[in-house]
Structure 1
Amino acid sequence: MKKQLLSIGFVALTMISCNNKPKEELTLSGLDPKNFQTEVNQMPVNLYTLKNKAGMEVCITNFGGRIVSVMVPDKKGAMKDVVLGFDSIADYINVPSDFGASIGRYANRIKDGKIVIDGKTIQLPQNNFGHCLHGGPKGWQYQVYEAKPVNETTLELVRKSPDGDENFPGNVTAKVTYTLTDDNAIDIKYEATTDKKTVINMTNHSYFNLSGDAQQPITDNLLYVNADKFTPVDSTFMTTGEIVPVAETPMDFTTPKTIGKDIDKYDYKQLKNGNGYDHNWVLNTAGDIKQVAAKLTSPTSGITLEVYTDEPGIQVYTGNFLDGTVKGKKGITYKQRVAVCLETQHYPDSPNKPEWPSVILEPGQTYHSHCIFKFNVEK
């Protein structure tokens, strides 16, 4: 990976991608597009800015297909950046993180890094307690997507993943389409095709702090999850294969409650195993994109986030492993539980649990997944 001088043509593309603003002008969130202009693996990297008629702004880099900033109004009308991330591409490259990333090929964990396809066992990287997490240490969050700006509100990102990429089979072409709607929603559509039988499970890994102050923990946020059941994990964060009720446990968010209400009740084994919440909930929505899968509300800012998806599950992760060693945007140190991730997905380790919804993708088929992050305010 090395920086190279950008051609006049590439600079022109950069200016178009940032909505024809002078390249020295900062984004509404305070990002400098110049700090995202580089080349990785001989592919250009840049910052792309989406804006809607309501004044909302979303900045995305094609390195890892990452959402870098999301500016939405709070209850007083002040614009707040509600996601964690970095101010420059150098940090995204050099500091391991999943901030805002388009995860692939397989979001979440695969047990022992092993899958079996047509009787053949395939060994994947083991980068998390002996399991394969988020596609391995060189997953798509660390790769460059080809960026195709469509208009001021839509960006297409394409990733061509070769056969054997992190040992996953098949030449896969994946597309992530980000659309910023005029009702302040980030609409994310995923597609993928393959020339060989493989597994696919994509998601977005944004870390949300709806207060707009990344120094403030999210334990006071109200969370609702439209799920009567969840998938327990063992001490290595791997799903056990069980699907159990949330009723009368700290995992019950069917009635909104603060994230912090039960999070430290480590006498409940699942919270101890997860170091807090880091679990997959089995959604009641049955793939209906019109039903709310989850809702998060900051009492400080009044900002709300509703999640809609056609996926069967959602991973709720409460930033348990942020430990104050990483400095993000504006030099803020990210401490434990200053963000929550709401990752729409098929269940973890589905390739090894045939009774669960399948993640197999065959040649001639197209993988589809749809997620909407809808922002609003409650005054």
Structure 2
Amino acid sequence: MAVEDYGRIGNDPVQAVTLVNGPLRARLITYGARLTELHVPDREGRTADIVLGHDTLAEYEASKAFFGATAGRYANRIRRGRFHLDGRDHQLDVNEGPNHLHGGRAGFDRANWRLDEATETRAVLSLISPDGDMGYPGACHAVTTYELADERTFRITMTASASAPTPVNIVHHSYFNLAGQGDVLGQELRLDAPFYTPVDAELLATGEILSVAGTPFDFTTPKPIGRDFAALGAVGEGVFDSGGGYDHNWVLAGAGEAMRLCAEARDPASGRRMRLLTNQPGVQLYTGGYLNEQVIGKGGRPLQRFAGFTLETQVFPGSPNHAHFPSSILRPRQTYDHRMEFDFSAD
């Protein structure tokens, strides 16, 4: 275990922590409780860093891509930043046109979390979001734990408690590229998800829940991530300068809170394989269609469209305004419990 200085925000030091277990190595920083590196071996035992990111704190502060961040208090989008709860209307910060995205302009990704524990294989970070933060009711105490549980297992746990009823949907926002660089269009993905939630031109959930069968959203059997892009149309072009690819939520199979398979991804060239289990009801697959060469990645390399994909396990987008979606409301004396487990292998 190594804890290092990573820079400062004003007088507040930002720390970096490196975790190691066998061939797996992860690096995270307290700014945004953010994963900045994840080194995983291929079929020949050669390791590569499989998450996108930057080299410096200043780049992370300037970035709008949420690379590796813990995003909240409510990640994903809420229409016009408004919701009604227990007889009261609430207005959140709006930071994507007229809508609320990933907790607002000063969401959890923009906070410097406290490092509470660091060992060779585990790090625990915490944050207190005060009452009224970005318009949210109640104070919220959030904890993110990163752990290399063994030589092939990476666990992320996000928990929270609140002093008043409030929407909570904290997500991990790494962009994965199992080859380490290039685009991810030929990497194969399977989602254990028979349904998805469509979005409108503003990328807001419409409230529908539709079958993936016979659509480009069908990942129930493995396929290259980019195979059906042409059938999707210009996803996101109403919000961003460029678009395309996926930026949608899938409805995972299996009811309740038990850990279950969410996704399996594989890079045919390196043989790296990643299995993801979660206890959440949905997963957001975003394939990096809004990235471009103006975004500078690690080593000073310009990125490209489709340079990585996210698997953000979550409640469904816009849940505070869709009563038939799984509830995102956390009440006092309840505990928000969001678990992700990544299993890595190579073939």
Q: TM-score range by the shorter chain?
A: over 0.9
Listed as ranges, the matches of 1:295-374 within 5 Å are 295-374=264-343
- State the alpha-carbon separation in 1 of the partners of residues 257 and 70 from structure 2: 22
Equivalent position amino acid for 2:312 in 1: E
Deviation by residue 1:93-130 (Cα, 9 ceiling, x = unmatched) = 12333000011101100111101121211111221232
1:173 to 127, 132, 141: 141
User: Which residue does the alignment assign to 2:117?
Assistant: 149
Establish whether residue 204 from structure 1 lines up as the match of residue 136 from structure 2.
Answer: no
Q: Where do 5+ consecutive residues of structure 1 fail to align? A: 1-16, 20-32
- State the alpha-carbon separation in 2 of the partners of residues 218 and 307 from structure 1: 17
- State the alpha-carbon separation in 1 of the partners of residues 201 and 284 from structure 2: 17
Q: Offset at 1:55?
A: 2.4
Q: Where do 5+ consecutive residues of structure 2 fail to align? A: none
1:221 to 180, 187, 194: 187
User: Which residue does the alignment assign to 2:196?
Assistant: 230
Listed as ranges, the matches of 1:19-98 within 5 Å are 33=4, 36=6, 38-40=7-9, 42-52=11-21, 54-98=22-66
Deviation by residue 1:253-282 (Cα, 9 ceiling, x = unmatched) = 001000111012245x87988732100000
User: Which residue does the alignment assign to 2:211?
Assistant: 245
The DSSP-based 3-state class of the residue aligned with 2:105 is coil
Equivalent position amino acid for 1:129 in 2: G
Q: Superposition RMSD on alpha carbons, in Å?
A: 1.7
> Is 1:285–1:293's contact at 8 Å kept on the other side of the alignment?
no
Relative to structure 1, the CA distance from residue 271 to residue 60 in structure 2 (aligned partners, 3 Å threshold; closer, same or farther) is: closer
1:189 to 157, 180, 190: 157
- State the alpha-carbon separation in 2 of the partners of residues 144 and 79 from structure 1: 29
Q: Give the TM-score taking structure 2 as reference length.
A: 0.95
User: Bigger shift: 361-370 or 221-230?
Assistant: 361-370
- State the alpha-carbon separation in 2 of the partners of residues 146 and 271 from structure 1: 35
- State the alpha-carbon separation in 2 of the partners of residues 266 and 152 from structure 1: 44
Q: Which structure shows the bigger proportion of residues in strand conformation? A: 2
Relative to structure 1, the CA distance from residue 41 to residue 104 in structure 2 (aligned partners, 3 Å threshold; closer, same or farther) is: farther
Q: Offset at 1:288?
A: 5.8
1:99 to 67, 83, 88: 67
The DSSP-based 3-state class of the residue aligned with 1:166 is helix
- State the alpha-carbon separation in 2 of the partners of residues 143 and 57 from structure 1: 24
- State the alpha-carbon separation in 2 of the partners of residues 233 and 205 from structure 1: 20
The DSSP-based 3-state class of the residue aligned with 2:134 is helix
User: Bigger shift: 117-126 or 225-234?
Assistant: 117-126
The DSSP-based 3-state class of the residue aligned with 1:46 is strand
Equivalent position amino acid for 2:249 in 1: N
User: Which residue does the alignment assign to 1:4?
Assistant: none
User: Which residue does the alignment assign to 1:377?
Assistant: 346
> Is 1:265–1:271's contact at 8 Å kept on the other side of the alignment?
no
> Is 2:75–2:171's contact at 8 Å kept on the other side of the alignment?
yes
Q: Offset at 1:136?
A: 0.6
Which structure's CA Rg is the greater one?
Answer: 1
> Is 1:264–1:271's contact at 8 Å kept on the other side of the alignment?
no
User: Which residue does the alignment assign to 1:108?
Assistant: 76
Equivalent position amino acid for 1:72 in 2: V
Q: Offset at 1:328?
A: 1.2
Relative to structure 1, the CA distance from residue 322 to residue 270 in structure 2 (aligned partners, 3 Å threshold; closer, same or farther) is: closer
> Is 1:185–1:373's contact at 8 Å kept on the other side of the alignment?
yes
The DSSP-based 3-state class of the residue aligned with 1:323 is coil
User: Which residue does the alignment assign to 1:291?
Assistant: 260
Relative to structure 1, the CA distance from residue 287 to residue 154 in structure 2 (aligned partners, 3 Å threshold; closer, same or farther) is: farther
2:223 to 225, 243, 257: 257
- State the alpha-carbon separation in 1 of the partners of residues 309 and 195 from structure 2: 20
Deviation by residue 1:347-377 (Cα, 9 ceiling, x = unmatched) = 0000011111111111111111111122111
User: Which residue does the alignment assign to 1:276?
Assistant: 245
Equivalent position amino acid for 1:354 in 2: A
The DSSP-based 3-state class of the residue aligned with 1:112 is helix
- State the alpha-carbon separation in 2 of the partners of residues 374 and 46 from structure 1: 27
> Is 1:226–1:285's contact at 8 Å kept on the other side of the alignment?
no
> Is 1:266–1:272's contact at 8 Å kept on the other side of the alignment?
no
> Is 2:202–2:236's contact at 8 Å kept on the other side of the alignment?
no
2:130 to 140, 157, 162: 162
> Is 1:188–1:371's contact at 8 Å kept on the other side of the alignment?
yes
2:2 to 7, 18, 21: 18
> Is 2:23–2:151's contact at 8 Å kept on the other side of the alignment?
no
Relative to structure 1, the CA distance from residue 235 to residue 152 in structure 2 (aligned partners, 3 Å threshold; closer, same or farther) is: same
